[in-house]
Amino acid sequence: MSQALFNALLELGDDHLILGHRVSEWCGHAPLLEEDLAMPNMALDNIGASRNIYTYAGEVEGKGRDEDQLAYLRLDREYKNCLLVERPNEDFAHTMLKQLYFAAFMEPYWQAALSSTDETIRGIAGKAVKEMAYHIRHAGEWVIRLGDGTDESAKRMQAAVEEMTPYVEELFTMSADAKACAEKGILPDREALRAQWSQTISNIFDQALLDLPEVKFPQLGGRTGHHGEEMGFLLAQLQYVQRAYPGMSW
Amino acid sequence: MSKETPLWEVFVRPRNGLSHKHCGSLHAADEVMALQAARDTYTRRGEGLSIWVVPSKSIFASDPDQTAENFDPSVDKVYRHPTFYDIPDEVGHM
Amino acid sequence: MYSQGLIGADGATEETEEFLAAFQARIDREEKIEPNDPMPEGYRKTLVRQIGQHAHSEIVGMLPEGNWITRAPSLRRKAALLAKVQDEGGHGLYLYSAAETLGVTREQMTEELLSGKAKYSSIFNYPTPTWADMGTIGWLVDGAAIMNQIPLCRCSYGPYARAMIRVCKEESFHQRQGYELLISLCNGTKEQKEMAQDSINRWWWPSLMMFGPHDAESSHSEQSMKWKIKRFSNDELRQKFIDATIPQAEYLGLTVPDPDLKWNPEKNNGKGGYDHGEINWDEFWQVVKGHGQMNRDRIKARKKAWNDGEWVRDAALAHAEKRAARKTQQAAE
């Protein structure tokens, strides 16, 4: 069981770390100063959640690995984040949509995790569920404004929707490890969250005048370490200091 | 010249039982975004439990040129203050 | 230091002697000046330029440190750095707001920055090639900034003083996080300590330059001191900074790259202080005038963010108009 939980925690931790990394790339480059304050808040929430999750994963594994060893010292194929979160920022429309898609999934996920059989998971969920509720609101309001703003913003927003939606399915898919944890009531069943996700998104898309496309070919692979090309560059940055100066403390 | 995003004044209630207090300004296109920006800008260190935002253009201020005529006349109305009245000590606190 | 760009600025005013004397009397009584109060045009212009430059410094100052957010070597350091760079954005925001009370818009100020008309602190035109620079910036650059900002909390202009109080409160963690980062490096391996020393070798002189030219060459200072926009002279603040910093460097076991630095027991009215070598003012002026290593990159990055963001800002405004129109329509029905 502990191996399954360890792996499932890595899926969760990596999702938050990699998304937080992407959002943090905006810091100092946002479209308006107020957003230069808002985006780091979201990045800090995600990175903070990843730290709690990795720390617990390290305890579950029992080999003495801490949050940094898990975050920094694995090979590309060992990262288990879904493809959605590693997608490049592209523009503000893509970034906000990615944030919305993720938070619209994680909010009900953590909500369900509040009744986990595992006390540490309940603790992590209690904090994260509020953060995700705010991310839905913040990213959602932007998606509405960009979708129903100018012609250009509507075009960019719809383009982001076309491009990002194929990556959503992976949020719901259950790895064998996630299944094992769900059966024990430790982690929520991802499959069961589809309706809530769709409800959140369709509420926002109605106001944003956006259409959710039907996805015939969902993009999967992150959970098994089959990442896109951009992931290598992300990790090269993330891991640079730790790799260039191995074994030092910072 | 690019278009200007409106200015808002932000008021934060530090905790229940206290008034909202002016703490600064920010720019936002509408009240929803202004509230979110206020949250992200002015409550990052647990400074508040409630936020008001007001369009800066909705604030009307008294004229500094009229400061004397506005406020000086109240200075000598000492009979508005409790200490103006003599009550013998034997009466106790009143 | 936030008045580096005021050099040569026109603080002249055309008000009558009586008006200026009455204003000066208010300042001398330590009364705060508030936005709609009558004030000499030179006072207003000086403040607009100084607060604007201070705000731009915060905003451009996000870039050299932002450069390392994705590469921070631990999650703890990453979170601290991200929060710090975010704070700098917040400080820029508070300061722009303070300047806006004087009748300029943020958009106007931003365009002056992007066109090169407005300046920002010279320090941010140096590159941050190593992780140790995150420590050194926190320790030296933020340390110098705090030295300058604390007296600004008592500036005669109310909104500027209030913004500075907020900034100083938030900034107190910045210098500590930088110094703590350097402690980790200095307690670490030889390579880490070398990285720290190399970083201080690069940042020491530029940090001293942050305080601006010597008092004798800072013609603008006198009027600002009289108006109590400024409370200490450039050289006074620089001396305080050096005296505070050298023992901190010694604690780290690091040296500053100044062979002429030595303790002088006579200095500071017999309390003692450090004599230091001559600052390379040619370098300072070169950077202030736009020819530092990173000047072009910094402005290019700000322009890109501003231009790439235009469609987002426009969309928000367009949506706000639609919302308002819908509300009016609903009210009419």
Report CB contact under 8 Å: C69, A41: no
How far is the C-alpha of C185 from the C-alpha of C262, rounded, in Å? Answer: 26
Q: Give the chain B residue nearest C315 (alpha carbons).
A: B29
Domain range spanning residue B80?
7-91
Strands laid side by side in the B50-55 sheet: B21-27, B7-13, B50-55
pLDDT in tens, C226-272: 999 998 999 999 999 999 999 999 999 999 999 999 999 999 999 99
pLDDT of residue C2: 61
Alpha-carbon distance of C299 to C294, in angstroms, equals 9
Instruction: Find the residue in B nearest to C105 (Cα).
Output: B4
Q: How far is B12 from chain C (nearest CA, A)?
A: 14
- The low-confidence residues of chain C, meaning pLDDT below 70, are 1-13, 219
| Chain A CB within 8 Å of residue B44 CB | yes
Top residue of C97, C180, C311, C321 to mutate, by most chain A CBs within 10 Å, is: C311
Condensed to tens digits (0 to 9), the pLDDT of residues A11-63 reads 999 999 999 999 999 999 999 999 999 999 999 999 999 999 999 999 999 99
Question: Which of A37, A41, A141 lies at the smallest CB-CB distance from B33?
Answer: A141
- Is B66 in the C-facing interface, judged by CB distances under 8 Å? no
Q: Which amino acid is at C322?
A: K
SS3 B7: strand
DSSP C23: H
Pairwise CB contact (< 8 Å): A242 & C73:
yes
**Domain-located, residue B2:** no
Give CA C235 to chain center in angstroms: 17
Residues 23-52 of B with CB under 8 A from C: 23-30, 33, 41, 44-45
B34 within a domain of the structure (yes/no):
yes
Q: Which of A48, A153, A237 is closest, CB to CB, to C71?
A: A237
Phi-psi region of A174 (alpha: psi -120 to 50; beta: other; left: phi over 0): beta
Which chain B residue has the Cα nearest residue A39? B40
Q: How far is residue A248's CA from residue A241's CA, in Å, rounded to a whole number? A: 9
Non-local (6+) Cβ contacts of A248 within 8 A are C188, C189, C191, C192
**Nearest residue to A219 (alpha-carbon basis) of A83, A90, A103:** A83
pLDDT at C218: 77
The pLDDT of residue A13: 98
User: Among the ranges A215-219, B58-62, C4-8, C11-15, which has the highest mean pLDDT value?
Assistant: A215-219
Cβ <8 Å between C318 and A238: no
Structure tokens at C131: 């992780």
Q: Of C139, C149, C175, give the one whose Cα is nearest residue C94.
A: C149
Residue with tokens 């030219």: C213
Partners of A135 on chain B (C-beta within 8 Å) are: none
8 Å CB contact of C315 and A149: yes
Residue B71: list chain C partners with CB under 8 A. none
For residue C215, the model assigns a pLDDT of 87
Q: How far is A219 from chain C (nearest CA, A)?
A: 26
- Position B77 in a domain: yes
Chain centroid to Cα C238, Å, comes to 14
Q: What is the pLDDT of residue C6?
A: 54
**Nearest chain B residue (CA) to C322:** B30
* Contacts with B36 from chain A: Cβ below 8 Å: 38, 137-138, 141
Quote the CA–CA distance of A22 and C69 in Å, as a whole number.
11
| Lowest mean pLDDT segment, chosen from A27-31, A82-86, A159-163, B71-75 | B71-75
How high is the pLDDT of residue C11?
Answer: 55
pLDDT at C15: 86
CATH classification of the domain holding B24:
3.10.20.520
Find chains touching chain B: ≥3 CB pairs under 8 Å: A, C
Q: Looking at residues B69-94, what average pLDDT do you find?
A: 92
Which of A53, A89, A249 is the best residue to mutate to test the C interface, defined by the most C CB atoms within 10 Å of its own CB? A249
Residue B1 lies in a domain: no
Q: Which of A211, A208, A165, A225 is nearest to A18 (CA)?
A: A225
- For tokens 């069981």, what's the residue? A1
Any idea what the Cα angle at residue C88 is, between residues C151 and C301, rounded to 5°? 125
Which position has the token pair 């998304």? A19
From the DSSP assignment, how many helices (H) and strands (E) are in chain A? 11, 0
Q: Looking at chain C, which residue has its C-alpha nearest residue A92?
A: C312
Tell if the CB–CB gap between A34 and B44 is shorter than 8 Å. Answer: no
Q: What global pTM score does this model have?
A: 0.94
Per-residue model confidence as pLDDT tens digits over B30-53: 999 999 999 999 999 999 999 999
| pLDDT of res. C219 | 67
- Asked if C191 lies within 8 A of A245 by C-beta distance, the reply is yes
CB A84 within 8 A of CB A101: yes
Mean pLDDT across A74-84: 98
Residue C239 phi, psi (nearest 5): -65, -45
Q: pLDDT grade, residue A5 (50/70/90)?
A: very high
Does residue B1 carry a pLDDT above 60? no
CB contact under 8 A, A138 and B36: yes
* Six token digits for residue A9: 């925690």
**Is C213 in a helix, a strand, or coil?**
coil
Measured between CB atoms, does A22 come within 8 Å of chain B?
Answer: no
Query: Closest-CA residue in chain C for A151?
Result: C315
Q: Given CB atoms, is A244 within the 8 Å cutoff of chain C?
A: no
Does residue B20 lie within any of the structural domains? yes
Q: Given this model, what pLDDT does residue A211 score?
A: 95
Number of structural domains chain B divides into: 1
Given a cut of 60, is residue A241 above it in pLDDT?
yes
CB contact under 8 A, C79 and A51: yes
- The CATH label, of 3.40.50.970, 1.20.1290.10, 1.20.1260.10, 3.90.25.10, for the domain at A2-244 is 1.20.1260.10
**Contact in structure between B62 and C34 (CB atoms under 8 Å):** no
